[in-house]
């Protein structure tokens, strides 16, 4: 039997230079190192083109390594591409359209940032209603960087404590939220962080919440996401 380190070296040398979010390397390491802390937990990760690469990849890998099942939801039936530093980065394969996803199938929703990503998502009625339903359900919603723009669009930050990338601080305040300059802000079912450097704390907060949560919160109902009236949710 080869050691994990030997197997990793062989596959790293053989792997192509392009990657998808479940790369060969990560699948090998996940199979040998993951635990069952979040076994049975299903997490939705909502994103589209221009997501901040680390803010999607890091939580996805951390959650999968902890035993959770993560599904990437998006707006189109095609791979989406991240943004890394000053150019487009890796490609991510989506698992389901947000318009076809049932919020009741997931214990948590993760919203990565990036400038382009939330700007596109907040213009989509299905994406906004998915977020609104999740927030109203009491189940975990975790957003980082520019991700809270979706919470603002869904009118769900009023009276809540949260953080975000500094450039949208005024947007949070104008939407009725209390903005705090901390790596992680936890307000009941809402976890938020500011930027990629906060990812270790952000990921750990999500895992801690899910590992200590009991399945007592009613699941979000399966609603017609296109026709939901924001005043009735």
Query: What are the residue numbers of the active site?
Result: 145-146
- The full length of the chain comes to 233
Asked if residues 209 and 191 have their Cβ atoms less than 8 Å apart, the reply is yes
Least Cα distance to 143 among 205, 210, 222 occurs for 205
The single residue listed with the structure tokens 């490609």 is 91
H or E segment to which residue 90 belongs: strand 87-92
Asked if residues 172 and 179 have their Cβ atoms less than 8 Å apart, the reply is yes
The single residue listed with the structure tokens 């979706």 is 150
Contacts 24+ apart (CB under 8 A), 179-185: 185/161
Give me 90's structure tokens: 């890796």
């Amino acid at each position: 039997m080869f050691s994990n380190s030997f197997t990793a070296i062989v596959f790293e040398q053989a792997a192509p230079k392009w990657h998808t979010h479940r790369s060969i390397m990560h699948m090998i390491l996940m199979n040998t190192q993951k635990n069952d802390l979040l076994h049975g937990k299903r997490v939705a990760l909502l994103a589209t083109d221009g997501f901040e690469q680390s803010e999607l990849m890091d939580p996805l890998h951390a959650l999968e390594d902890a035993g959770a099942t993560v599904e990437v939801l998006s707006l189109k039936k095609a791979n989406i591409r991240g943004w890394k530093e000053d150019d487009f980065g890796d490609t991510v394969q989506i698992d389901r359209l947000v318009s076809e996803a049932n919020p009741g199938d997931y214990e948590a929703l993760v919203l990565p940032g990036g400038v382009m990503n939330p700007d596109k998502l907040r213009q989509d009625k299905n994406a906004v209603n998915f977020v609104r339903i999740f927030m109203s359900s009491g189940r975990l919603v975790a957003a980082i960087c520019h991700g809270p723009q979706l919470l603002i669009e869904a009118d769900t930050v009023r009276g809540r404590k949260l953080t975000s990338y500094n450039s949208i601080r005024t947007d949070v305040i104008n939407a009725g939220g209390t903005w705090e300059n901390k790596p992680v802000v936890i307000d009941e079912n809402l976890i938020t962080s500011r930027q990629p450097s906060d990812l270790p704390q952000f990921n750990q907060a999500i895992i801690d919440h899910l590992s200590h949560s009991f399945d007592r919160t009613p699941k979000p109902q399966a609603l017609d996401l296109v026709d939901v009236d924001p005043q009735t949710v």
